Structure 1
Amino acid sequence: MSAPAGPDMPWRFPIFNATGLAWGLLFGLLLASTSAMACPAGCHCIEKNSLTVVQCMSRNLDRIPSDLPRDTVVLLLASNRITHIPNHAFKELHYLQELDLSNNDIETVDVGAFQGVSDSLLVLDLSNNHIQSVPKEAFARLRAKISLSNNPWHCECTLQEVLRELRLDPETVNEVICHTAVQEEYAGKPVIQVLDSGINFCNFHHKTTDVAMFVTMFGWFTMVIAYVIYYVRHNQEDARRHLEYLKSLPSSSQISKDFDTISTVL
């Protein structure tokens, strides 16, 4: 509202209502906060004890949403088309307790995929995916109960070291199967059953490495020997040709006789 102009006051600055300005600023802050905490497109969010449950199941998602509410306590991403869990995918979700990524197409899990939620996460479901192996550090410091069942695991040293540090879901632990293995005889068997029988995949790894090193060294040794033989034979051939050339030259005595003959004639 502006004060009326008079003959001695041709114009005045507009007079702002302080209360209206305060409410406007508060409304702007609330709007910004609501936008920051908005539910991802295609998902359904429910408030639970002032925290958020985000339901994104069967939404045909091919990646993990990046605009998840920071107060998310439960995140349900099952039955989508997600293929990859990137680094820092959940780093802002400091209250996250349950994460369901089952029944996706996940093939790769980055080293820092669960950084930021290792202290809060209680349940992690990665069952029914396409995971063959994971980096040893991917589950570092996780205390969650983890389900890894029904994945085409390749049983080798790294997987053994990963499983040693995890708290696997006891109800699905026997469904963690060796789809392939460093020793074919263990393919098709539960990983825990193989490990409990005293098999150490890391020993196979070391043996395989030793054999590979031996084969490589033998190959280099064979190449060196072959080169030496070739070098010696090549030098022998050159020496033989040089000797034949020298033999083909006239001898010094013959040259002297010819010189004497020429001198006598002269």
Structure 2
Amino acid sequence: VFTVKPEIAVTSCPASCHCIDKNGLTVVQCMSCNLETIPPDLPRDTVVLLLAANHITHIPNHAFRELHYLQELDLSYNDIETVDVGAFQGVSNSLLLLDLSNNHIQSVPKEAFARLRAKISLSNNPWHCECTLQEVLRELHLDPETVNEVICHTAVQEEYAGKPVIQVLDSGINFCNFHHKTTDVAMFVTMFGWFTMVIAYVIYYVRHNQEDARRHLEYLKSLPSNSQIIVGP
């Protein structure tokens, strides 16, 4: 259901896209257009933007910031690997639907979806399950119909690879705690290594000085004794 907005004419349309006006709502269709980037010249009154089935690999900062009426954004079936921190700045208040399913996204910055109220689909991406993803999902309104299709392709704990992220988190697993434990173990190993090096140096230093002292003592013993005084006639 779209909200009512003032009438704004469609003044331009990106090449290879098709722009139509449906009851004063501008719909931009750019599906299967072999696009590699998001078109920069989108009509500012765009309400629905359909970019599915292209070859887009990256969502840069402020990609949609001029689209103040944007309510539906479909980026499914692309080759998206990276999403910048400010990718959706400017549309956080208006966007209602966001589809990022069927891409190549492994992780996203936790700030990328900040303040988004949209229902989001993240299914069928090769997600790496770790602390950042857990924090991202905590703040999102995931599409309930596809939530079980958000799968751990890889994970900081290998036994969770291949399982739905929500299922893993609902079981009580906390990837952030695991991250902290891993960091603590790494720090302990590093400190133990340095400690071992220091002890080894001290042992070497003591043994080296003992050897020098022994040689010095043997040299002193080899010197002529002055304890005998020769008395003349």
Aligned equivalents of 1:231 and 1:114: distance in 2? 61
Deviation (angstroms), 1:229: 1.1
- Going from structure 1 to structure 2, the CA distance change for 1:195 and 1:33 (only over 3 Å counts) comes to closer
Aligned equivalents of 1:33 and 1:79: distance in 2? 24
- Going from structure 1 to structure 2, the CA distance change for 1:189 and 1:100 (only over 3 Å counts) comes to same
Deviation (angstroms), 1:139: 0.5
* CA deviation string 1:144-202 (max 9, x = no partner): 00000000111111111111111101111110011111222211111111112222222
**1:15-54 → structure 2 map (5 Å cutoff):** 34=11, 39-54=13-28
Corresponding residue of 2:41: 67
Deviation (angstroms), 1:123: 0.4
* CA deviation string 1:44-91 (max 9, x = no partner): 111233342111111111111112111111111111111111111111
Aligned equivalents of 1:264 and 1:224: distance in 2? 57
Q: RMSD between aligned alpha carbons?
A: 2.7
Deviation (angstroms), 1:253: 4.6
* CA deviation string 1:95-128 (max 9, x = no partner): 1111111111111111111111100000000000
- Going from structure 1 to structure 2, the CA distance change for 1:154 and 1:94 (only over 3 Å counts) comes to same
**1:1-266 → structure 2 map (5 Å cutoff):** 34=11, 39-253=13-227
Unaligned segments of structure 1, at least 5 residues: 1-30, 255-261
Unaligned segments of structure 2, at least 5 residues: 1-7
Deviation (angstroms), 1:242: 2.4
Whether the 8 Å CA contact 2:152–2:164 is kept in 1: the answer is: yes
Whether the 8 Å CA contact 2:10–2:21 is kept in 1: the answer is: no
- Going from structure 1 to structure 2, the CA distance change for 1:197 and 1:264 (only over 3 Å counts) comes to closer
* CA deviation string 1:24-57 (max 9, x = no partner): xxxxxxx99946xxx1122111123334211111
Flag the structure with more relative contact order, 1 or 2, with Cα contacts below 8 A and sequence separation at least 6.
Answer: 2
Aligned equivalents of 1:57 and 1:32: distance in 2? 22
Deviation (angstroms), 1:238: 2.1
Deviation (angstroms), 1:206: 1.8
Aligned equivalents of 2:226 and 2:38: distance in 1? 95
- Going from structure 1 to structure 2, the CA distance change for 1:263 and 1:234 (only over 3 Å counts) comes to closer
Structure showing greater radius of gyration is 1
> Match of 1:253, SS?
coil
Aligned equivalents of 2:45 and 2:99: distance in 1? 20
Whether the 8 Å CA contact 2:129–2:165 is kept in 1: the answer is: yes
Q: How many residues align?
A: 226
Identity %: 91
Deviation (angstroms), 1:247: 3.1
Whether the 8 Å CA contact 2:50–2:74 is kept in 1: the answer is: yes
Deviation (angstroms), 1:263: 11
Whether the 8 Å CA contact 2:11–2:43 is kept in 1: the answer is: no
Deviation (angstroms), 1:243: 2.4
Aligned equivalents of 1:65 and 1:249: distance in 2? 94
TM-score, normalised on structure 2?
Answer: 0.89
Aligned equivalents of 2:11 and 2:152: distance in 1? 47
* CA deviation string 1:184-237 (max 9, x = no partner): 221111111111222222221122122111111111111111111111122222
Whether the 8 Å CA contact 2:149–2:164 is kept in 1: the answer is: yes
Whether the 8 Å CA contact 2:10–2:26 is kept in 1: the answer is: no
